[in-house]
Amino acid sequence: EPEVTQTPSHQVTQMGQEVILRCVPISNHLYFYWYRQILGQKVEFLVSFYNNEISEKSEIFDDQFSVERPDGSNFTLKIRSTKLEDSAMYFCASSGSARVSYNEQFFGPGTRLTVL
Amino acid sequence: GQQLNQSPQSMFIQEGEDVSMNCTSSSIFNTWLWYKQDPGEGPVLLIALYKAGELTSNGRLTAQFGITRKDSFLNISASIPSDVGIYFCAGRGNYGGSQGNLIFGKGTKLSVKP
């Protein structure tokens, strides 16, 4: 069964450093998302991406964040200058194009980001 | 912004018991989704609901989309140890220019005693 994959599973970085989190969405999906989950808290929406552009972003997704689909399979989240409060699990999700599959978002296993 | 109130926060039950949890919102949603998350993993989609009043089953799981479109519940019948995890409701709107990102509840942590 197709699934969303993410790399790395765990990233440790120093405050102020740039990180890039990578995702490979399900191959025939057209909508891509990033969410984050601070330890012990709920999942929070960051950004959605469709047709090679951001379609929606939350207030969390400030100028330090950017997303890119550099080729036909990868979808990346870049944090330009990490802060301690960026430490969280970051989940990539994707959904399809037909009405039903558009609503059903499938999540990857996550990247745990630790900022020291 | 929109918020989902999910209850209970946690449940500790005996194997074989039925479980019920729910989500409520002050806003209406067009879609309700229920996910399960195991420790250190991503949320796994269990059930998706699209119409007010809809009742959908997936094995021992049953979920309903409330008539008012502001609530949903999830039932698990005859719980087993592998049901342990955190269950999240998520609502999806599609109004005010929103493309329909998911808004998650805070989760219900389920523990099952063999």
Residues of A in contact with B106 (CB under 8 A): 41-42
Question: What's the gap in Å between the CA of B1 and the closest CA on chain A?
Answer: 11
Angle at A43 between CA A10 and CA B82, to 5 degrees: 80
Q: In a 10 Å sphere around its CB, with 0-12 CB exposed, 13-18 middle and 19+ buried, how is residue A84 labelled?
A: exposed
Residues of B in contact with A91 (CB under 8 A): 42-43
Task: Name which residue leads in pLDDT, A40 or B9.
Answer: B9
- Find tokens 């929070």 and name the residue: A44
Structure tokens given for A78: 């870049």
Task: Give the range among A46-55, A69-78, A90-99, B72-81 with minimum mean pLDDT.
Answer: A90-99
Residues of B in contact with A48 (CB under 8 A): 99, 101
Mean pLDDT of A53-71: 93
Dihedral sign for Cα atoms in the order B60, B57, B11, B86: positive
Question: What's the gap in Å between the CA of B101 and the closest CA on chain A?
Answer: 7
Q: Whose CA is closest to B92, among B28, B42, B44, B37? A: B28
Give the nearest partner residue to B41 out of A43, A105, A109, using CB atoms: A109
Q: Whose CA is closest to B43, among A32, A113, A28, A91? A: A91
**CA distances to A12, A48, A57, A65, B50 from A54, in Å:** 27, 6, 7, 12, 25
Chain B residue with minimal CA distance to A39? B40
Question: What's the gap in Å between the CA of A52 and the closest CA on chain B?
Answer: 15
pLDDT for A15 equals 97
Is residue A107 a contact partner of residue A32, using CB atoms and an 8 Å limit?
A: no
Helix (H, G, I), strand (E, B) or coil at A14: coil
Chain B residue with minimal CA distance to A101? B48
Mean pLDDT of A77-101: 90
- CA–CA distance, A91 with A73 (Å, rounded to integer): 16
A97 has a pLDDT exceeding 80: no
Q: Say whether A107 and B100 touch across the interface (CB within 8 A).
A: no
The per-residue pLDDT string of chain B (114 residues; one tens digit each, 9 = 90 and over) reads: 678 899 999 999 999 999 999 999 988 888 999 999 998 889 999 999 999 999 999 999 999 999 999 999 999 999 999 999 999 999 986 554 455 688 999 999 999 988
pLDDT for A40 equals 86
